[in-house]
Structure 1
Amino acid sequence: MVTIAFSRNSSPEEYGASSPSIGAVLKAIAADATFSDKRRADICSAVRTLCGRLHIQLESTPADPRLFAERLANVTEVTVAMSRGRFQNCRSLLDATLAYANKRMVRRRSRTPLAPEYAALLAYATSRWQVIRLRALFRYASERAILPEGIDETVMTAFAETIRRSTVKKPHNVERMSRHAWNQLIQAVPGLGSQTVTINYIAERYVLEASAFPQSLWDDLEAYLSSRATPETTFAIDSLLTEEELFAEDARRTPPIRTSTANLIRYRVRQFASVLVIEGVVNVEQMTSLASLVSPATINRGLQFFVRRAEGKLRNSQMYGIATDLLMIAQHWVRLPASDLQKLKILTSKVRPQHEGLPHSARRSLAPLRDLPNVRAFLAVSELILRDAEKEKSIDRATANRVATALWIRIAQRAPLRISNLLTTRLDTNIIRSVGKSGSVALLYPPDQVKNRKTLEVPLPRSTVAMLDLYLRKYRPVLVEGESPWLFPAPNGKYKKPGVMSADIQRLMRSYIGFAINPHSFRHVAAKLYLSVNPGDYESVQLILGHRARETTVRYYCDLEAEEAFRHFDAVLLGLEAHPDRRRPS
């Protein structure tokens, strides 16, 4: 059983008000004599079945392609308990229904043959990716008898509108890549006479290049980051602090940071400096040091830019991260007066996100795990992936990559580490084994590899060790050529990127069990499952997740027990209903 939780940003009312309901369209198709009896029956049956499996109300849901595209974005045949052929057929007939509802809504695949001019142009494409991105555009132009010389900004805009009125996934990405492929093509075809088109980016690109600012600003920033690079505190003999300075709050050394954090601070400083230039708060020539960025008035003006971008929302993690980094610079490097620091602390507190418990996105991703069959399917998915891989007669890179992903899932289920820790696991330093053929295995991470700088040692169950050994012996050699110390290597010998691993994990989970969660949510799953059996045992969850403070664990996961409380409450009510004469004990 799969519980479907759609992460949509729009409500049905936000889609075309003039669109008839999907139920009304089915009634119109059932009464349309231009369809054969079999065709009408097939369409109505397929659409009703698919909508029923997705819990879509026929009479109140607009027949708008974008709404259905969002609903179907992460749905697989496993999600709706259909065979692959039946699921694909239902989707195809749904497309036909939406096309019938509005002639401007095109089918997912156009059957219009390409005009000869466009068929000849495809020969100049340099990659399969470029052919795929150009084919839809060329079919659109062929349908409308538009010659290659006539493709301009107006045609591209109309093509984009057609895509948005279809069930294509991520229409903005399709439009942008089609524009990019077209620009590449006309550069490669001499004498075509066509004009380039603009490439529309969803996000506004306002961050200036580092070269736009004085080099002294970056030198000052690097000096600040160097002061926080290592935890050791050393002083030269000629620069010993006085006793007053030694115990002064602003003379204490700032907390050390890792390389990844330093890179994030570099970007945030450049991001904020760019905003100050755009807003006209500080001239580029005046940005000679970090001191020019961190006055209370300057930070206040700069943060207003982000408030406008967030449509008036005052509290979000982006603004809080920028404000916090600037406060640290002002306090520990620029050393602003105490009165200014107090203003910055108040400003930082005003943009700090306020939430108790898990974010809404995490709650929605965990919705399928409310049902025990889904929990069991989640715990068994790595074994299913490995079982299918073992059936293969030969091992190619794709198969080995699936097994690597299955191993990641298996380890993260039993040892809910952060994705950065698992992906940077080295065979020579992070995996420790006891003596003996059947010895135990644990993952060991020193403080400099852990977010809260506490040594982390995680024992692996025997079943996980068996999968690990099989992967190392049989599948990992296919993934890398030459020497590589990483447990999960990329083709270039480095460790696999988090974004790539995250995509692989979610793709395999949807394929095998019909739903997916992102890698970080494995930690939330661990807390949810443990607390559902051991309510109130936050100390154990704190140890499992490696939180430094118990308060962190309680703040995020205390309300996960609410579901169990409601189930208990429902059981009490059922007991009272079954025994209406039962008196309340005194």
Structure 2
Amino acid sequence: MRMNNLNDNPFADQSVISLSELKARIEEMRTVDLQRRRDISSALTNIAKWLNLPETMIPAAMSFIRPAMAKLHPITLNVSPRRIQNVRSLLMQAFRLAGLSTKLAPYQAKMNQDWSVLWGLIAGDRYARTELSRLFRYCSNQRIAPTDLNDRISAEYLSALEAETLVKNPKRRHQSVCRVWNQCAARYKKEGWPQISLDVPRYDERLYSAGRDLVSDGIKSDLEAFSVHLSGADPFSSIPKPFRPISVKMFDGHLWRYLSALHHTGLDLTQITSFDDLVTRPMFERAMRWFWERNGNATSKHIGEIAWAVRVYAIKYRQADEATVAFYGSSMARLRVKHDGLSPKNQKAMGQFSDITSIRLFVNLPQKLWNLGAAIRPNVEQGRKRKEALILIQAAVAIEILIFAPVRLKNLTSIRLDTHMSWRDGRLHLNFPLDEVKNSVPLDFTLPAETSARVQRYIKDWRSLFLPNTNPFLFPGREGKSKDQSLLGKQIKKAVFDHSGLTLTPHQFRHTAAKLLLDAKPGHYEVVRKVLGHK
């Protein structure tokens, strides 16, 4: 067995072999069929090529490979989806042959008798079988009986998922497995399903909000007064130029995040009577260190915004001495993230449009999504048109509007048929008054005839498939409201990636519009300014 250098990645565990070493070990296995060795070798070569890294720099660890491969798309790689699936399968085979995957059994592996009995009970439940299949085979392979399953084994199963699979989100999958197991235990109790309840873990480690009951009334009163000060609601205690409601809400959110950070440092906020006591230098440093360490010992745009909100309260709203002003000034220089031009994230996103192929994929995406949705529509399930079709059609309309009217997601979500939309000569006009736009610049767009016709068909045939026609929003939600802004944003981002291979958020459509326009018409900055509604 070869034991030379394991991997050349300075950021990876040096005890883990590289993809290059894995390939060499597979090639030396004379007990493995020659064609199979060649197929595996080709797959490992492809992975390195797709990740644009030398094989020696890629650790043979799922923790490294899984997130990297999740970003790959057959369109951008110019390969078929089947080829990617085959490469994934061959990678798993390589792991098993090299002894890197020993706990999870292959998908085709048989279950033992005890687990087969439970498998038979859920024969008609496709979802349950999908979720529990890997767990059943894992336990069979580890000689664990159904009656022996417990939270410790469940945790070990998660570890195996993370170490030995390319499952997109192991923690979410594990969470679902525990939930489905418990549901089956209740549903098939009489049939003999083991009455074992698994703890359904919560993997929301990024959530840190502290409840209002953990904060004193004095602090809450101070924050409410500050919001009034910013909003202009009180003519005698407000700033001369009031903030917009969305900005007031943003400040309030940042200050509550600041409170939550202090809570997680162990500070009892019920014993502190004023928010003023929490904006001192020691308290500010305490909260910011918590954010800093949580973010991997680095600041971020989000952290900088929280710090700025605290500074506004401490310096602008309250009386502050020179030392405090100087302290906050130096802190902002360290904590606030500043970029000349686009941020690295947005630069990377715009880099996708450096070739004509990506641009064509982008501009043709609405038509592609529409065609896919329309093809699904004839299929009905229990007399109802499939929601998958509506999701595709809705994404097509949203994306096409953003291409020709690159508004912010909030404005896109808020489009009402009776307020923002008008029709002249068969073309749709979108108008957003200044009080609804972030920087108080009114926006007006006239969409092309073909796009307008597609929006009309969406309104007539699709918009109200699952919600009342009385809902006034172009993208309707429940209880007469618009569709949730976050949900529509995720829907757009997913549709873009799934069907074009491009990674783009709704807000980045604005940057894309500017890039494509300036690439086609260099120097037309005034046009870009007007299209985006910049001052």
**Same structural fold, with TM-score higher than 0.5 when normalized by the shorter chain:** yes
CA distance in 1, matches of 2:8, 2:352: 21
- Decide whether aligned partners of structure 1 residues 126 and 206 sit closer, same or farther in structure 2, where only a CA change above 3 A counts: farther
CA distance in 1, matches of 2:415, 2:349: 27
Paired residues, number: 518
- Taking structure 2 as the reference length, the TM-score comes to 0.83
2:230–2:238 contact (8 Å) kept in structure 1: no
CA distance in 2, matches of 1:60, 1:348: 37
User: What one-letter code is carried by the residue in structure 2 that aligns with 1:452?
Assistant: N
Which stretch of structure 1 is more off in the superposition, 133-142 or 367-376? Answer: 133-142
| 2:76 is the counterpart of 1:79 | yes
Aligned ranges 1:316-465 → 2 under 5 Å? 316-331=300-315, 333-336=317-320, 340-341=324-325, 343-392=327-376, 394=378, 396-434=386-424, 438-465=425-452
Q: CA deviation at 1:252?
A: 3.7
Aligned to 1:272: 258
User: What one-letter code is carried by the residue in structure 2 that aligns with 1:173?
Assistant: R
CA distance in 1, matches of 2:112, 2:529: 61
| Correspondence for 2:505 among 508, 518, 530 | 518
- Decide whether aligned partners of structure 1 residues 129 and 261 sit closer, same or farther in structure 2, where only a CA change above 3 A counts: farther
Aligned ranges 1:180-329 → 2 under 5 Å? 194=196, 196-197=198-199, 199=201, 201=203, 203=205, 206-229=208-231, 234=235, 252-253=239-240, 255-258=242-245, 260-279=246-265, 284-287=270-273, 289-313=274-298, 315-329=299-313
Aligned to 1:563: none
2:518–2:524 contact (8 Å) kept in structure 1: yes
- Decide whether aligned partners of structure 1 residues 200 and 491 sit closer, same or farther in structure 2, where only a CA change above 3 A counts: closer
Q: CA deviation at 1:449?
A: 1.5
Q: Secondary structure at the match of 1:495?
A: coil
Aligned to 2:145: 147
2:373–2:388 contact (8 Å) kept in structure 1: no
Aligned to 2:529: 542
- Decide whether aligned partners of structure 1 residues 335 and 18 sit closer, same or farther in structure 2, where only a CA change above 3 A counts: closer
Aligned to 1:577: none
1:63-115 deviations in whole A, cap 9, x for unaligned?
33333322320323323323333432332223212322334264673623165
CA distance in 2, matches of 1:480, 1:205: 31
User: What one-letter code is carried by the residue in structure 1 that aligns with 2:138?
Assistant: Y
CA distance in 1, matches of 2:397, 2:197: 50
Aligned ranges 1:106-117 → 2 under 5 Å? 106=104, 109=107, 111-113=109-111, 115-116=113-114
- Decide whether aligned partners of structure 1 residues 172 and 362 sit closer, same or farther in structure 2, where only a CA change above 3 A counts: farther
| 2:97 is the counterpart of 1:100 | yes
User: What one-letter code is carried by the residue in structure 2 that aligns with 1:407?
Assistant: V
Q: Secondary structure at the match of 1:472?
A: helix
Q: Secondary structure at the match of 1:466?
A: helix
CA distance in 2, matches of 1:404, 1:193: 43
1:441–1:459 contact (8 Å) kept in structure 2: yes
- Decide whether aligned partners of structure 1 residues 204 and 528 sit closer, same or farther in structure 2, where only a CA change above 3 A counts: closer
CA distance in 2, matches of 1:188, 1:338: 68
CA distance in 1, matches of 2:87, 2:122: 36
CA distance in 2, matches of 1:261, 1:135: 48
Aligned to 1:579: none
Task: Report percent identity of matched pairs.
Answer: 23
Q: CA deviation at 1:377?
A: 1.6
CA distance in 1, matches of 2:105, 2:531: 50
1:305-339 deviations in whole A, cap 9, x for unaligned?
223333432x4223322222223333555455676
Aligned ranges 1:46-85 → 2 under 5 Å? 46-49=43-46, 51-58=48-55, 60-85=57-82
1:134–1:182 contact (8 Å) kept in structure 2: yes
Q: Secondary structure at the match of 1:75?
A: coil
Q: CA deviation at 1:407?
A: 1.3
- Decide whether aligned partners of structure 1 residues 169 and 15 sit closer, same or farther in structure 2, where only a CA change above 3 A counts: farther
Q: Secondary structure at the match of 1:169?
A: coil
- Decide whether aligned partners of structure 1 residues 319 and 42 sit closer, same or farther in structure 2, where only a CA change above 3 A counts: closer
CA distance in 2, matches of 1:415, 1:136: 46
User: What one-letter code is carried by the residue in structure 2 that aligns with 1:291?
Assistant: D
| Correspondence for 1:485 among 465, 472, 482 | 472
Q: CA deviation at 1:422?
A: 0.5
1:250-279 deviations in whole A, cap 9, x for unaligned?
974353232x54444444333323433454
CA distance in 2, matches of 1:356, 1:330: 28
Q: CA deviation at 1:211?
A: 1.0
User: What one-letter code is carried by the residue in structure 1 that aligns with 2:501?
Assistant: G
CA distance in 2, matches of 1:188, 1:474: 39
Q: Secondary structure at the match of 2:422?
A: strand
1:75–1:510 contact (8 Å) kept in structure 2: no
Q: CA deviation at 1:421?
A: 0.9
Structure of greater Rg: 1
- Decide whether aligned partners of structure 1 residues 399 and 20 sit closer, same or farther in structure 2, where only a CA change above 3 A counts: same
CA distance in 2, matches of 1:546, 1:446: 11
CA distance in 2, matches of 1:451, 1:151: 54
User: What one-letter code is carried by the residue in structure 2 that aligns with 1:292?
Assistant: D
CA distance in 1, matches of 2:418, 2:327: 49
1:20–1:101 contact (8 Å) kept in structure 2: no
Structure 1 residue ranges without an equivalent (≥5)? 1-9, 236-249, 549-586
User: What one-letter code is carried by the residue in structure 2 that aligns with 1:539?
Assistant: E
2:216–2:269 contact (8 Å) kept in structure 1: no
Structure 2 residue ranges without an equivalent (≥5)? 1-6, 379-384
1:445–1:457 contact (8 Å) kept in structure 2: yes
CA distance in 2, matches of 1:369, 1:39: 38
Q: CA deviation at 1:427?
A: 0.9
- Decide whether aligned partners of structure 1 residues 275 and 77 sit closer, same or farther in structure 2, where only a CA change above 3 A counts: closer
2:175–2:201 contact (8 Å) kept in structure 1: yes
Q: Which has the higher contact order (CA 8 A, sep 6+)?
A: 1
- Decide whether aligned partners of structure 1 residues 41 and 300 sit closer, same or farther in structure 2, where only a CA change above 3 A counts: closer
1:157-183 deviations in whole A, cap 9, x for unaligned?
432221122222222333444455556
1:424-456 deviations in whole A, cap 9, x for unaligned?
11111111333xxx2443211122221112222
Q: Secondary structure at the match of 2:136?
A: helix
